[in-house]
Amino acid sequence: MYQLFRPVLFRFAPERVHEATLYLLNLIGRLTPLRTLLSSIFSVSRSPVDAFGLTFANPLGLAAGYDKDGLAWRGLASLGFGHIEIGTITPRPQPGNPRPRIFRLVEDRALINRMGFPGRGADFVAKQLQSSRPNDLIVGANLGINKDTHLDHAVEDYLILMRVLSPLADYLAINVSSPNTLGLRRLQAKEALNALLSTINQERREHEVSLGKSIPVLVKLSPDLSQSELDDALDVILSTEMDGVIATNTTTQREGLKSKFAHETGGLSGEPLSERSTQVVRWIYQRTMGKVPIIGSGGVMRTSDVQAKLDAGAVLVQVYTGLVYNGPGFVKRVFSEIKGY
């Protein structure tokens, strides 16, 4: 049904459709009868996965970027996701980049976004996460920096976010790989990343004592790193005792695109990213000999993409653009088709 309705949706500006979808999912999440109905339609069998000291109901989750402010996560959980990653969240509210800032590349089954971390800030998200949570749902928080934060002070933004969100989220993801905040990707360089993650790890340990619980911390990496840059990042991630990696964020590469929007700046997601992100997952798994749990993200457009990332070494998989192109039944379809589930 969604495939029949999608051409109508795609006549409207992407961000407007997204905002309307979040509003509807927010409403569904707040009304128990609607949430129960949606869950019954899109329910999937429980297929537990243990990772980062947490138990996920199934290996497929929603990537950061879809629900930036934590408005719709309870409604989204009704679509069968095993986890939902909120964000990217910044300490202070900010508008993000000027519109238009999302583009559909329909011929390429892709999106380009240059959102620039728009959002209502950490305190607002914290309030959204204080509400009751569906059974078995894991909620992560993806952390970023404000646009006007100098890179020399980036760690201060991450520490603020940790203090606010550690009591509420099941895991934290350190976003140093978005192409839409000027200079942010420089934090993936070895020395900068080591300084950042060492401080974050120390702060994390202090919070674990005060909260009486473990706080898994993951690092989200770019698909555009060279092999040597990726190796350097992995060395730091291992030495600073991070709990896992999300591979990958969006790409700035544009090879082979057909759409008229191919020239737009921002991060490319969807089918053109699929092979590259899977290669990064495979390299991380081989390079670390499986010591670093991986969430595979990027170009998850069909069941075979989920399987490819699991086969490459991912323990969990995240989708975003695949949900836009396939609709709310995507999770259920994946688990009806994928082997072993």
Q: Whole-angstrom Cα distance, residue 152 to residue 258?
A: 39
Contacts of 251 (CB under 8 A, 6+ apart): 179, 222, 223, 224, 267, 268, 269, 272, 273, 276, 298
Average pLDDT of the chain is: 96
Active-site annotation holder among 78, 178, 222, 297? 178
Confidence of residue 134 (pLDDT cuts 50, 70, 90): confident
The answer to whether domain 2-337 has CATH 3.40.640.10 is: no
**What's the predicted TM-score (pTM) here?**
0.96
pLDDT score recorded for residue 338: 87
Q: Which of 55, 60, 51 is nearest to 307 (CA)?
A: 60
Q: Other C-beta atoms within 10 Å of 205: how many?
A: 11
Write the DSSP symbol of residue 119: B
Residue ranges per structural domain of the chain = 2-337
Contacts of 335 (CB under 8 A, 6+ apart): 44, 45, 47, 58, 60, 80, 341
Instruction: Answer yes or no: is pLDDT of 2 > 90.
Output: no
User: Which two structure tokens, joined as six digits, stand for 276?
Assistant: 């590259």
Q: Whole-angstrom Cα distance, residue 221 to residue 186?
A: 11
Q: Whole-angstrom Cα distance, residue 237 to residue 242?
A: 5
Residues 289-335 pLDDT 10s: 999 999 999 999 999 999 999 999 999 999 999 999 999 999 999 99
User: Which two structure tokens, joined as six digits, stand for 86?
Assistant: 């909120």
Residues 12-55 pLDDT 10s: 999 999 999 999 999 999 999 999 999 999 989 899 999 999 99
Write the DSSP symbol of residue 94: B
Phi then psi for residue 153, to 5 deg, are: -115, 15
Residues 145-190 pLDDT 10s: 999 999 999 999 999 999 999 999 999 999 999 999 989 999 999 9
Q: Give the lowest-confidence range in 2-6, 103-107, 313-317.
A: 2-6
pLDDT score recorded for residue 42: 94
Residues 259-276 pLDDT 10s: 999 999 999 999 999 999
239 catalytically annotated: no
CA 194, 195, 201, 204 torsion: positive or negative? negative
